A and B are shown apart, each in its own frame.
Chain A
Amino acid sequence: MAQYTLRINGVEHQIDAMPDMPLLWVLRDVLDMKGTKFGCGKALCGACTVHFDGVATRSCSLPVSAVQSAEITTIEGLSENGDHPLQKAWAEHVVPQCGYCQTGQIMSAAALLRENPSPSDEEIDSAMQGNLCRCGTYNRIKTAIRTASEK
């Protein structure tokens, strides 16, 4: 075990963890922040996406020892009142079905819009291809990203 100081959603957390423990399990098991989901453990599905200094990152494959002083943002910290333009657009288009992958989808989309406020369809495809949705909500996700990007 080693001690780490993590900056998550603007708050500092002191934690004890094995150095190779992925950030995902630190969030879920140590800090009890359950909005970030486990899907594959190999950075193949995107359910665990968080922002690492603003960049969409798969927390299941990021050892806690590699986080260091990076600013981490999770779905819990994306907006104060659940009213990020993407969260509003997601609600407007009733995107989710089971909803399990959606926090990861929203985090990927938020990183995209931050970099590129009005992405083309191809740019959306490319930014979102790492996020799987087994329920098949892809087209509504795309519509919601377009809606949010227009605002």
Chain B
Amino acid sequence: MKSSVLKSPEKDKETTIIYKPGRRDFLKLGSLAATGLILGVNFSCSDRKKGGEITELRSGAYLTITSDGKVIITAHRSEMGQGVRTSLPLIVADELGADWEKAEIVQAEGDEEKYGNQNTDGSFSVRMFYKPMREAGATAKLLLIRAAAGKWEVDESECDTDNGKVIHKSSGKSAGFGELVDLAAALPLPKPEEITLKDPSEFKIIGKDTPIIDLQDIVTGKAVYGIDAKVPGMKIAVIQRCPVVGGKVKSVNDKAALAIEGVLQVHTIEGAGIPPQLHKPLSGVAVIAENTWAAIRGRKALEIEWDLGPNAGYDSDKQQQELLEKTKEKGTVRRQRGDFDKTLKNASKVIEKTYLAPFYAHGTIEPPAALARVKDGKCEIWAPSQHPQWARDSVADALGMDVKDVSVNVTLIGGGFGRKSKPDFIVEAALLSQKSGFPVKIQWTREDDIQHDFYHAQSAQRIRAVIDKDNKVSGWNHHSTFPSISSTSDAGAVQPSDGEMRLGCVDFPYDVPSVRIETHDAKAHVRIGWLRSVSNIHHVFAAGSMLDEIAEARQMDPVANVLDMLGEDRSITFNEEMPQGEYDNYGENIKDYPWETGRLRQVIERVAEKSGWGREMPEGRALGFAAHRSFLTYVACVVEVAIDDRNHITIPNVYYALDCGQAVNTDRIRSQFEGGGQFAASLALNSAVTVKDGQVVQDNFDTYQIVRMPQAPQKIHVDIVESDAKPTGVGEPPEPPFIPALCNAIYRITGKRVHKLPVDLEA
């Protein structure tokens, strides 16, 4: 089959190239489809790592229609509960006019050349692939219509597709896609200007509730996660990792371990040292055994002497106090508007508050696990990876192999939240397979997971807000300090990166005449990584709490105060106020995804209405409010809190209003907000990782707690703004405003402000 190329009309911005795959591509498809209509899609999309600059990314996400009428769509992003294996294919299916019940989804392996960017984080799958998926569906639709119109000798404009058929509207004649694929496959690809996308009013699947495709497999226990991967001859490994980051194995006595029935081999794993890196293992000793239990028992029997290294004296509580002290000093200015010091001189009131948040672990219920088989100069991986391409590159690097010889099969992910973007655990499996000669599955225990995670950074912040003689907010000075994610790969990185600072700090959107954002040095002594919504967690806890204090100082209602501070509806950029560069707008050009204060205002007004904001509450109950735009999605949140006379906190209701542009799967948008609220409740009320003598104190779900059903927010109401603006992500945006909304409600009941997470009413 000839491979031909089609360019879409808007090629200067985001180019989608639809093509018919050549013979080589078919071989890759294997038994998937030998005949039928097959289209590849090459995506060009903005690569957020490069600050919104458009780069060409090749991709081969295939749409296949077989002669028996099946529509097979390749899912090239990783599924971890956000519903992406359903959301992206349904976009293709809707434009195509497919019978969704008959659609089949095939998971793509990790391959940058074929699939473009597969890094599933940053809430951007739908945002990035909405348009290309629509164009792929529309192209196939036109080919099928053209085939039918030719066969029936009618004008193609009189035909449409619906439910897996092409229909001739006036005669009612119809033909299933399967009957038409051979004719359609022989047609030349349509010209870009011939492709028309549906008007949103014609959508049949997009914008509605669609159940996830893996539902039945999940409820019957048939769904395959990384931990479930298996190949013949597979052995299991667990690793005793050095308790202190940067330490290493001095000596090991493995005699007792090897004497345990089922234990096969013991290997030392070299760690990266300092910096520990995001893609490399920690130093440790691995036990390979016939089964998981033998491996765990073998590990217990190891006698290891460690060189704990320079982090052995680290105390996280002590560091947090030191960071707090630093926020009193002059810092590195990250954004400047007006002259804050001058504003101070004309102050009528100055409010100055500090905010502390701890390290957090991801605590995915599936602990990290991955299977590797190194054989005949090749390495095959099965892993719950959010970023299979990075895993592939890292494994190739660690094994000294060509990337071409490494393949990564992506399983379902039993919770990701950013943890399973990092390929360290996958590299462990690969190294151990290479060393042992067996296919090896690495299994992390819960203790391994809590004690050796890439933690959300602990932080100290100080905000000063100035109110002038006219009761207007005239100044905002936010000091933020926390060890940066960059420190994990660069020991010299001691300041938060621009990427971290635009998460809820420098993107302060309020119409205040003087704004100064400052940061301070913070050294990392554990591995720092990203956790769902990243620095927004601590930044918005601080900013959202301070806005509530401002309302009180101005004697205003908190919602009215925020709407007043937001000012006139306008599009904002922060560029001219940022000495160190441009505001990167989550990797998207601000012209394409403008920061519109009117959209934030709208969700605030809607949440106030839906929550009955301002109503009388019984004693011991109150509503708290906060709003924030993150990952380009606008969210307002009201949390209802009840506290009984034993200081027991319950959350009867949570109200969200959100604007994520065009909704794709409303059920999964609601579920992400329901889950995001629960996740944030854990961060606010339960969880904290602390470090003593360089070692993490907590080790399982008794000491590192997350909300359980009796404590969980009881009702989470989600109000989605109807919009045909470009769709934006929903995985992370629910979290940030929840925490200050909760804290503000607690204040209304107890009269005590929350300055430290997790909340402790006895403190």
Contact = CB atoms under 8 A, between A and B. Distances in A.
Interface of A: 1, 17-18, 20-22, 25, 28-30, 32, 34-42, 44-45, 47, 74-76, 82, 87, 90-91, 94-103, 106, 124-126, 128-142
Contact of A98 (B215, B230, B297, B413): B413
B219 interface: yes
A47 B446 contact: no
A45 to B, nearest CB: 5
Contact of B712 (A47, A87, A102, A136): A136
B82 interface: yes
Given A103-B221, A136-B674, A37 B709 contact: no
B718 to A, nearest CB: 11
A20 B671 CA distance: 40
The 4 closest A-B pairs by CB, nearest first: A35-B221, A136-B678, A100-B414, A98-B81
B695 to A, nearest CB: 19
A44 B363 CA distance: 12
Contacts of A100: 225, 364-366, 412, 414-415
B157 interface: no
A91 B211 contact: yes
Nearest to B667: A94
B398 interface: no
Nearest to B224: A34
B368 to A, nearest CB: 12
Max chain B Cβ within 10 angstroms of own Cβ: one of A95, A100, A137: A100
B712 A44 contact: no
B706 A98 contact: no
Given A44-B700, A98-B415, A100-B414, A136 B214 contact: no
A125 B214 CA distance: 27
B236 interface: yes
A138 B293 contact: no
A13 to B, nearest CB: 15
A44 to B, nearest CB: 4
Interface in B644-683: 667, 671-672, 674-679
B367 interface: yes
B318 interface: no
A39 B712 CA distance: 20
Given A25-B293, A41-B446, A99-B81, A87 B220 contact: yes
B702 A98 contact: no
Interface string B281-303: 00000000001111011000000
14 contacts: A22-B293, A25-B293, A29-B291, A45-B701, A82-B216, A90-B215, A91-B216, A97-B675, A98-B416, A128-B709, A130-B708, A133-B365, A134-B679, A136-B677
A94 B209 CA distance: 10
Interface string B60-103: 00000000000000000001111100000000000000000000
Contacts of A125: 709-710
Contact of B227 (A37, A136, A142): A37
Nearest to A44: B701
B370 to A, nearest CB: 14
Nearest to B83: A97
Contacts of B83: 97
Contacts of A94: 209, 211-212, 215, 667, 671
Contact of B674 (A76, A99, A124, A139): A139
Contact of A40 (B81, B219, B236, B701): B701
Contact of A135 (B297, B667, B675, B708): B675
Given A42-B446, A137-B674, A37 B293 contact: no
B1 interface: no
B262 interface: yes
A137 B675 contact: yes
Contacts of B330: none
Given A87-B220, A94-B209, 14 more contacts: A18-B297, A30-B291, A37-B227, A38-B443, A41-B446, A45-B701, A91-B215, A94-B667, A98-B415, A100-B365, A103-B221, A132-B365, A139-B674, A139-B716
Contacts of B707: 136, 138
Contact of B218 (A21, A99, A138): A99
B669 to A, nearest CB: 12
Interface residues of B, number: 68
Interface of B: 79-83, 209, 211-212, 214-216, 218-225, 227-228, 230, 236, 261-262, 291-294, 296-297, 363-367, 412-417, 443, 445-447, 667, 671-672, 674-679, 700-702, 706-710, 712-716
Given A1-B261, A29-B291, A97 B701 contact: no
Contact of B81 (A39, A82, A87, A96): A96
Contact of B445 (A29, A37, A41): A41
Contacts of B710: 125-126, 129
A40 B366 contact: no
Given A40-B700, A135-B675, A136-B677, A129 B227 contact: no
Max chain B Cβ within 10 angstroms of own Cβ: one of A1, A87, A124: A87
Contacts of A140: 671, 674
Contacts of B216: 82, 91
Nearest to B262: A18
Given A96-B81, A100-B366, A134 B415 contact: yes
A16 to B, nearest CB: 10
Contacts of B219: 82, 87, 90-91, 95-96, 102-103, 106
A40 B365 CA distance: 8
Contacts of A132: 365, 701, 706, 708
Contact of B365 (A22, A45, A126): A45
Contacts of B296: 41
Contact of A74 (B221, B413, B712): B221
Contacts of B79: 98
Contacts of A103: 218-219, 221
Contacts of A39: 365-367, 446
Given A18-B262, A138-B678, A97 B82 contact: yes
Nearest to A99: B218
Contacts of B716: 139
A98 B157 CA distance: 43
Contacts of B236: 29
Contact of A141 (B225, B228, B414, B709): B709
Contact of A97 (B443, B445, B671): B671
A138 B225 contact: no
